[in-house]
Amino acid sequence: MAFELPPLPYAANALEPHMSANTFSFHHAKHHNAYVTNLNNLIKDTDLASKSLEEIIKAVAGDSAKAGVFNNAAQVWNHTFFWSSMKPGGGGKPSGDLLARIEKDLGGFDKFKEDFKNAAVTQFGSGWAWLVEEKGTLKITKTGNADTPMAHGQKALLTVDVWEHAYYLDYQNRRPDFVQAFLDHLANWDFAAANLKG
Ligand code: MN3
C-alpha cells in the first residue's frame, strides 16, 4: 500500500501570523508531498513496500546504497512529526512530568529555550532541532538534512524544521526570529508530553 500525504492537524491558516498559509501551501502541499511521492516510487515492487514508515527508516539507516529511500522516508516522518509539534496558541511552558524532566535533565526551562534555539540557529545548512529522550535522559540535538532521532536510538519529543523552505516566505533569512516564534507561539507541549509518555 502506497503512503499518502497526511492532512495537516489544523487549518493551513491556523498558525498565522507566525507561519502563513502561503508557507504551508509550499511546505506541506509541495515539499512534504514530494517526499511521499518519491518514497512510493523508490520502494515500489521492493521488499520495503510492505513495511511501515518507521520500519523502512530503521531498515535503511546508515546504508549508503539506500540513501534515497532513507532521505525521503525520514523526511515524510519528520514533516508529519513537525506539523504536530506545533498548534494554534502554542508556545509557553510545558507542565507536569515533562517540565520536571526538562528541569532535571536540561537545567531548567529558560536554559532549555536558550539551548534549543542555539541548536536550531547553529545547524549549518538544512536540518532539524529536536528535544529527544535517549536512555532515559532528555537531550537537545540537531540533525542535518533528513536525519532523524530514531536512526540514532533516540525518541523524538518535539522538533522544529530549519530548512530554509520552513521559514523563508515568512522570515526570509531571519532563522532566529522563526525559532523564537516557534518557542513563543507554536510549540505543542501537549504533543511532546504525550510522546514522552508513549
Ligand atoms: Mn521541511
Q: Where are the domains of the chain?
A: 21-84, 96-197
For residue range 113-127, what is the model confidence (pLDDT) as tens digits? 999 999 999 999 999
- Note the pTM of the prediction, 2 decimals: 0.98
pLDDT tens string 26-69: 999 999 999 999 999 999 999 999 999 999 999 999 999 999 99
CATH superfamily, domain 21-84, is: Fe,Mn superoxide dismutase (SOD) domain (1.10.287.990)
pLDDT digits (tens, 9 = 90+) for 60-112: 999 999 999 999 999 999 999 999 999 999 999 999 999 999 999 999 999 99
The single-letter DSSP state of residue 129 is E
Residue 17: is the preceding peptide bond cis (ω within 30°)?
yes
Residues 6+ apart with CB under 8 A from 194: none
Interval 149-184: pLDDT, tens:
999 999 999 999 999 999 999 999 999 999 999 999
- The domain defined by 96-197 folds into minor pseudopilin epsh fold (3.55.40)
User: Ligand 1 centre from 80 Cα, in Å?
Assistant: 10
Tell me how far the alpha carbon of residue 60 lies from the centroid of ligand 1, in angstroms.
21
* 3-class DSSP assignment, residue 138: strand
Of 191, 94, 71, residue with least CA distance to 143: 71
110 Cα–ligand 1 center, Å: 26
Give the whole-angstrom CA distance, residue 10 versus residue 39. Answer: 25
